[in-house]
Chain A
């Protein structure tokens, strides 16, 4: 079955770089049409899309954070890594990774059918 799990530090200091790992099983990012997406949710607020990486290594970033985000995959380890530089207290959020349902091979329009449980990252000195 498909599972995803986020891991990384629970606390980072302002200006530091955050590195999160999404470890998944039950599918391969080598498969055409497969994509993994990162989404965050500040406490009490709405979901916000951050980045996506596709099976062919195409990458997409939300414009407002594009200069601070980087996404990469390690297909041998079944992992996707998200880095976010220059962290600020306003970046405090639960970070989720999710799989795009591959039914259409077009990740643009496919829904997020499996999610990790999320990891809360607090930015504070």
Chain B
């Protein structure tokens, strides 16, 4: 089955850059979406189709996808970026949506 592997946690100081990876064989051939989830809240779409941002999402948040790794990058990290982040794709082989294992971003 298709499994999207993310690092369990990423720690970053304010003002620095956080990079969250999402790994699976040939993920670069798929459209990857990213969601931010703060404690007690529903997920929020922050990047879709690898690198597009919904309206209202700051340019500090960006995405890329190539080969076996998709990456969500948060530049100039702020305290408000502290959250869990999930990648997500559609696996056409199984006709399933697949979510990543999730990454907790901690702002030091």
Contact = CB atoms under 8 A, between A and B. Distances in A.
Interface of A: 37, 39, 46-49, 52, 60, 62-63, 96, 101, 108-109, 111-113, 115-118
Given A111-B48, A111-B49, 8 more contacts: A47-B88, A47-B99, A108-B92, A111-B33, A111-B45, A113-B48, A115-B43, A117-B41
B35 A112 contact: yes
Contacts of B108: none
B102 A112 contact: no
Contacts of A39: 97, 99
Contacts of A117: 41-42
Contacts of B88: 47, 111-112
B45 A113 contact: yes
Interface in B13-66: 30-31, 33, 35, 41-45, 48-49, 54
B76 interface: no
Interface residues of B, number: 25
Given A96-B42, A116-B42, A62 B96 contact: yes
Contacts of A52: 97
B48 A101 contact: yes
A115 B99 contact: no
A60 B101 CA distance: 22
A66 to B, nearest CB: 11
Contacts of A101: 48
B45 A46 contact: no
A53 to B, nearest CB: 13
Given A63-B96, A109-B90, A117-B42, A46 B101 contact: yes
Contacts of B54: 113
Interface in B54-108: 54, 86, 88, 90, 92, 94-102
B43 A112 contact: yes
A25 B81 CA distance: 29
For the complex of A and B, 6 pairs with smallest distance between CB atoms: A49-B97, A111-B33, A111-B48, A115-B42, A47-B99, A108-B90
Nearest to B1: A63
B65 to A, nearest CB: 13
